[in-house]
Amino acid sequence: MYQRKFIKLIVLLGILTIFFAGCGKRNPEESVVLSESATKTYTINSRTLELNTDAFAINRNFQIIGNTLYFQSNDQEGAGIYYEPIDREGDLQKMPIDFGASEMLLSFVVDKENNAYCFLKDEKEQYFLRTYTSQGIIMVEQDITTLTLQNQEDILFAKTVIDESGTVYAMAKGSIWLFDKDGLYLGRVELPSKNILDMVSGTDGKVYISYNSEGDIHIYLAKVDVENKKFGEPFSFQGSGKLYPGTKAKIITYDARYLYEMDGFTGEYTAILDLAKHYIKAGSICAFSVNDTKKYTFVLNLSEDKAFTINKLELITLEESVVANSVSDVEKTEIRLVAPGTDGEDTYLLNFIMEFNKQSEKYTVTYESLGLASEEDFALFINSRLVSEDCPDLLLINYFMYETYADAGALEDLTPYIEQSSLITTEDYLENAVAPYRSGEAIYGIPKILNVQGWIGKKSQVESLYKKMTVDYFLDFLEKNPTAKFEYDGEYCGLLRTCMKFGLDEYVDFEKGICSFDQKEFKDLMLRIKNTNNAHAVTSGQWDTLLKSDEILLSEVHLYDFYTLEKYAMDYGEELLFLGYPSPDGSLAGEVRPEASLGIAANSPNKEGAWEFLKYYLLNYHVPHGIPADEYSFEKEWNEAKTPKYEEDENGELEEVPVSQFFYQGDMVPLYAMSEENAEHIHEVIESALPVSKDAQTIQNIIFEESSAYFYGQKTLEETVDIIQNRCQLYLDESR
């Protein structure tokens, strides 16, 4: 049990570290100032380093001190601090410190004499600050349990640093804990309602933090004032929030594109290295250092599971070179990829773009995120930029916005390109994933992944609904089972949305452009939904207490991989069944939602280059989440998910081992091969899923907007239905 708690806390610390390393976003209102060094040419040297390959090992807190890389590892045998020189290959060494199997190492720092300052927690929930010599001898030990009991909401201790005077700083979520070199508590410097992201001991001997607050895209830098127990004047800066010591009293940070040098006194910062140009993947940076000769050292995470198990590193050094590259980005044609609806840079896609740029002799792709949210924003983007000289070449388009672009003539038909390609054909993709991007004979995008949305329930309770779920049958089921509950925060529109998802054909003829919501059948449905919702809707706050009860529970979810039902079953405590949504004939019908599709702008000045990248993207890009949209990857991953995996145990006997794993409530949980029955169920769910057109979504939204007034007693049923009928008919008339 203690091991599970240990994994839960260490994983939380690791996730926070990895998340902030890759989530940098530039404020679009700010421009990047490039220093002279950012335009220089560098020679690159690299080597790989294999760490603990134990699947349950948590390797984290990587730091370069002098010429040595240090990190901590917590596995099932206990904690340890490891190190290796960064300037030469050698055997990975472990500091001779015996933490004991019952202690978890929260964070540590090593000083110039190789003494290790460590914060620990044992299985009795006791906290300690200990200082060890390089030989593992305890120099200082302080029991700080009483202090942590007084501040239980803020004892994460995710990072530790020391300043020039020997003061020890421990970083929590909203404060910095201070101790002197003998381990005596000096107090806390608090930052209420803020999230401290990182902390660094600068080469000026001072300690700085980065932080942000909820709802604020800006990240701030502030100095820790130990004497007055407060933070200095904050400065807003660009970057991920990660901080490293620079040279000449500067601080280093980075975002998805640039490495920045900051002045902690004035807050001024300058881009000193173009990471993308040198193929440094910002989202993979674990540690960094720079010396007085401007030699940059990066430690990158090469692990497949980057968020949880870091077991393979790449150590890269950049030194200024007088020899120019044979092919520079300046000589290549720029292909501009814009993500209109994405609020922030996609680290995985940026890394892939760097791979393409590295191998391409003709093109270099740049990425821009616009963060558009409303339909008005999209309309302005389409009507202005896509018809201007500033038109991008590629668009990252979600399925629900495709028709908006296509109807405006903003997208290039990919059919001619596909027909001339010997490698790309739409027949290689799941038809229901491609269908939302079709218009007649034209096709405007091909997705990489998909997910399926619909209702789930405990198999033992809802099997009677499976493949029989018409709207009437679904509502009958709820009425016949008064204890049945569904989670929708009490919103009537949730149940109405469910019934209308694939039930519009009864009231709308899209080909003729006619609707009939003023008929008796729709009024009866509205009345029935109002009564049913009152009896069965449960708020999210109540839902968790019901999950493992005997109540009949229905919940709307997204299937985002082949194991989603197994993962949700951890909450429900038993096997689940995917029901989808009510359909006219009761057949299985989830909603397919394709994602990660690129389209070529109709006015792109570089269509040939855009297609070259799009082709490379379709053939080589692996999206780290979602169900594959291409047939080959889909069948391959599905077969892997249902094929048991065996390994020999210590006695030479074969035993089944997990085929995957995931984190549930902070613990690492193994996933074994699905049963043949469950595998076939998931396969059928995905293949039978249906898309919802833009017109259907618009009609649904009109219904939901206007029905609330009736459900909450603000308008009569007749008034509401008349408004719905008039608005929907007006939309259909204008769309013809």
Tens digit of pLDDT for each residue in 496-545? 888 999 999 999 999 999 999 999 999 999 999 888 766 676 766 677 77
From CA 560, how far away is CA 566, in angstroms rounded? 12
* Strand blocks (E) in 183-323: 185-190, 195-201, 207-212, 219-225, 230-231, 235-237, 244-245, 250-254, 258-263, 269-274, 285-290, 296-301, 312-320
pLDDT recorded at residue 373: 65
pLDDT digits (tens, 9 = 90+) for 665-684: 667 788 999 999 999 999 99
Residue 675: which residues within 8 A CB-CB, separation 6 or more? Answer: 642
Query: b/e for 462-473, b at 16 or more Cβ within 10 A?
Result: beebbebbbbee
SS3 of 431-455: the string is HHHHHHHEECCEECCECCEEEEEEE
Residue 248, both tokens = 């000449």
More confident residue, 167 or 279: 167
pLDDT digits (tens, 9 = 90+) for 93-141: 899 999 877 888 999 999 989 999 999 998 888 999 999 999 999 999 9
pLDDT recorded at residue 690: 95
Chain position carrying tokens 């019934």: 499
Strand partners, 670: 661
pLDDT recorded at residue 680: 96
What average pLDDT does the segment 383-402 reach? 85
Please provide the distance, in angstroms rounded to a whole number, between the alpha carbons at the two ends of the chain: 64
39 pLDDT more than 90: no
Q: How confident is the model at residue 13 (pLDDT cuts 50, 70, 90)?
A: very low
* For the chain, percent of residues with pLDDT exceeding 70: 87
- Model pTM? 0.70
Q: Using CA of residue 185, residue 186, residue 187, residue 190, what is the dihedral sign?
A: negative
pLDDT digits (tens, 9 = 90+) for 445-477: 999 999 999 999 999 999 999 999 999 999 999
CA angle at residue 710 from 707 to 714, to 5 degrees? 125
pLDDT digits (tens, 9 = 90+) for 688-717: 999 998 889 899 999 988 998 898 889 999
- CA distances for 131 relative to 409, 453, 477, 539, 574, angstroms: 67, 53, 65, 49, 48
From CA 730, how far away is CA 534, in angstroms rounded? 32
Residue among 209, 346, 275, 350 at smallest CA distance from 34: 275
From CA 59, how far away is CA 64, in angstroms rounded? 15
Strand partners, 556: 455
Give the largest CA-CA distance in the chain.
Answer: 85
Chain position carrying tokens 């998802």: 501
561 pLDDT more than 80: yes
From CA 291, how far away is CA 164, in angstroms rounded? 18
Q: State how beta strands 394-397 and 333-339 pair.
A: parallel
From CA 711, how far away is CA 115, in angstroms rounded? 67
More confident residue, 29 or 433: 433
386 touches 603 (CB < 8 A)? yes
From CA 356, how far away is CA 365, in angstroms rounded? 8
What average pLDDT does the segment 253-270 reach? 88
Round the average pLDDT of the chain to a whole number and report it: 85
From CA 222, how far away is CA 200, in angstroms rounded? 11
pLDDT recorded at residue 308: 55
Domains of the chain: 2-318 (2.130.10.10), 331-450+595-635 (3.40.190.10), 462-587+684-735 (3.40.190)
Helix, strand, coil shares of the chain, percent, nearest 5, are 30, 30, 35
416 pLDDT more than 60: yes
CA angle at residue 140 from 134 to 145, to 5 degrees? 125
295 pLDDT more than 60: yes
pLDDT recorded at residue 21: 40
